[in-house]
Structure 1
């Protein structure tokens, strides 16, 4: 018999009792579904048995680890449904591409199958049947070389490539009703845990929609985001053209010694895109460029490099940070915990910003503010600005795309740019790399170098940062005139050498340890690329240091 403590309540259980059985005792109707368990601080899947006295904290859909488990399990069921409907091996021709909000876009290349509403309804119905059957999901551990040969035999080339560079001697495979696959991350114990999802046709593929965090029964209506979709599609098309659209393919480039060529191509592509954006700004006679994007998207370096391209085009750019228009701290709004909330547009003096911009457009001179983050006060240090004929304002800040910021500025004068780091490569055919992982690793490295924050502190704040993005940035991304993907195909192989020591330093006895461990396991898939090969103008230099734009 073992003693298990859950939320201060002690349970006596027999040997062999699973955490799933314990979860069933505490799961309440209407609350987010329980999907995983922290057992003495270690994350475990629910089908695992209790093996000693322990403290248990259950993980639900409302938490990041549970949310990703829900999405991953739903995708497993989706692939199984396609196997059932279109024949054994059909999932080999389905590629999981990228996320659009809380939806995942799947490229569907199964021969002789037309993607349309009727086909999506068939997949939806078969998924519902599988979930209703509550089929157990089984996990087995096999030799990594055995897994490599298995996926080579079934035609999943990118999985075979991935395992070729796997250091671990063992690899976990999941099985669902006879269908076996590899997934990076944990699974729900059975298909009955996945109750809410929607399959829809979109472009030339299918979209699998799952609940957002904190949702349990309802799905928000799927709204296509054509601009975001197009920039992600273009990035993946370029990666595929270069033959580097998965981690295994990237590792092969590294082992062959061709990384310099890849870096030059990536940097050249981004420079070309920046030049095209600058040309559009000049041709449209724009006077105000508004740049926004989520945390660690590379907005600062982008604005510097765009300014250079504007200068090449004969213009005189003036950088302005929206941070300088913060309200004095005592006037700033507070969140539900009583802390100052600098993520909301209500923390900005929008009236003053609007007045200054209209004065500049009218040819008047203004006194430029500077925000003092130490005192929490706006200051004026004698800096003035007046726009000439060839002058352009380059304004950077998280609220740049929010219509409330610039609604009283003339539309013909504005050009809005959304900058984000959208993953260009996936682990393999069926395991995508969340863009948020890349941004978190960027931030961990940058915060350590420039802000004195350790990885524990950065990880601890990340959930709050993501919430601020979801509330204040992502809803406005389709308002952009153009989107720019700052992610670089090789960057995780460079960030690895900086991030790993920081992640290893996270103590075992803190809540952030499990996330640090997950990121370490993730980085283990990548071979290293030395940072000396990265140009000083690169967007990546904003995070690893050595940028020529540093002041």
Structure 2
């Protein structure tokens, strides 16, 4: 069996060539294994499902790092979109911008959104997360991706890929749903345990830990003026 030398913090280990980073976490990380969201392989950000084939240095990334927090938010956004589509079939979800230590978004459906709706979606998110469902990366033909986004009524994705030059695109799959996200992803939904979804008229705010307190939801701070600035900018963008 071929082996490689992997340096983790101040420890060096001889490992099988092709070992996945998630296996290194199981062997060498002393805390909760799902605290590790991603890793740095030498100077490259990599997903935990990636195999290692050469000698390298590895740094585990938790929510105390900016890179891991962005990946965490990406995974939560995927679960949120899926949960909303399951609770309210035919709805569309848009993630708009950062606000109140989280992400503001809107869910478009026939009768508008209310506090009870948001609670139902949050409960469905927690069910999906409790099942620890995997995120799987797939390379699919662009034609299939466009058909899929039309079926989901994801107009933002259709606009994004309008000028895509490649014949294929990498997407992630979780359960029945495929979606496109630019960037790395967590291995499974079970990594996304700490979050809060709150109603913020006319949409919601998806809140999750800050890097300085990775195990708790930050204190809520009202940012109405900033929110109104974002809303005004979006109106002008629609006009232009």
| Equivalent residue runs for 1:405-444 within 5 Å | none
Greater helix content = 1
Report the equivalent of 1:46. Answer: 48
**Cα separation, 2, equivalents of 1:125 and 1:145:** 34
User: Which of 120, 126, 129 is the matching residue for 1:128?
Assistant: 126
Please report how far the alpha carbon of residue 32 of structure 1 lies from its aligned counterpart in structure 2 after TM superposition. Answer: 9.4
Does the 8 A contact of 2:208 with 2:218 survive in 1? no
CA drift of 1:94 comes to 1.3
Give the Å deviation of 1:135. 0.7
**SS of the counterpart of 2:178?**
strand
Q: Which residue of 2 aligns with 1:105?
A: 104
Task: Tell me which residue corresponds to 1:180.
Answer: 178
Partner of 2:159: 161
Q: How does 1:93-492 map to 2 (within 5 A)?
A: 93-112=92-111, 114-242=112-240
Contact 2:37 2:62 in 1 (8 A): yes
Structure 2-normalised TM-score?
0.89
Q: In the TM superposition, what is the alpha-carbon distance from 1:158 to its structure 2 partner?
A: 2.6
In structure 2, the partner of 1:7 is 9
Deviations 1:18-52 (A, max 9, x none): 11121233334379922112213222111112223
Match in the other structure for 1:57 = 59
Of 26-35 and 5-14, deviating more is: 26-35
Question: Are the equivalent residues in 2 in contact too, given 1:145–1:164 (CA < 8 A)?
Answer: no
The answer to whether the Cα contact below 8 Å between 2:25 and 2:33 also exists between their aligned partners in 1 is no
- 1:140 and 1:172 in contact (8 A); partners too: yes
Whether the 8 Å contact between 1:148 and 1:164 is mirrored in structure 2 is no
Higher relative contact order (CA 8 A, sep 6+): 2
- Contact map agreement 1:143 1:171 (CA 8 A) in 2: yes
Q: Distance in 2 between matches of 1:3 and 1:129?
A: 40
- Structure 1, unmatched stretches of 5+, are 243-551
Cα deviation digits, residues 265-302 of structure 1 (max 9, x gap): xxxxxxxxxxxxxxxxxxxxxxxxxxxxxxxxxxxxxx
Q: 1:283 maps to what in 2?
A: none
Q: Give the number of the structure whose alpha-carbon radius of gyration is greater.
A: 1
Distance across 2 between alignment mates of 1:62 and 1:31: 15
Aligned-residue Cα RMSD (Å) equals 2.2
Other-structure match for 2:88: 86
Identify if the C-alpha distance between structure 1 residues 39 and 111 changes in structure 2 by more than 3 Å, giving closer, same or farther: same
Q: Distance in 1 between matches of 2:120 and 2:8?
A: 41
The answer to whether residue 39 in structure 2 is matched with residue 37 in structure 1 is yes
- Contact kept in structure 2, 1:120 and 1:200, CA below 8 Å: yes
Distance 1:60 1:239 in 2: 36
Tell me the SS of whatever aligns to 1:106: strand
Unaligned runs of 5+ in 2: none
CA distance in 2, matches of 1:28, 1:110: 45
- For the residues of structure 2 that align with 1:164 and 1:120, how far apart are their CA atoms? 32
Does structure 2 conserve the Cα–Cα contact (< 8 Å) formed by 1:82 and 1:123? yes
Residue by residue over 1:342-361, the C-alpha shift from the partner in whole angstroms, topping out at 9 and shown as x without a partner, is xxxxxxxxxxxxxxxxxxxx
In the alignment, the residues of structure 2 paired with residue 167 and residue 63 of structure 1 have an alpha-carbon distance, to the nearest angstrom, of 33
Structure 1 residue 214 displacement after superposition: 2.6
Between Structure 1 and Structure 2, the one with more strand by share is 2
User: Structure 2 vs 1, CA of residues 101 and 206 (structure 1 numbering), >3 Å: closer, same or farther?
Assistant: closer
The size of the alignment, in residue pairs, is: 238
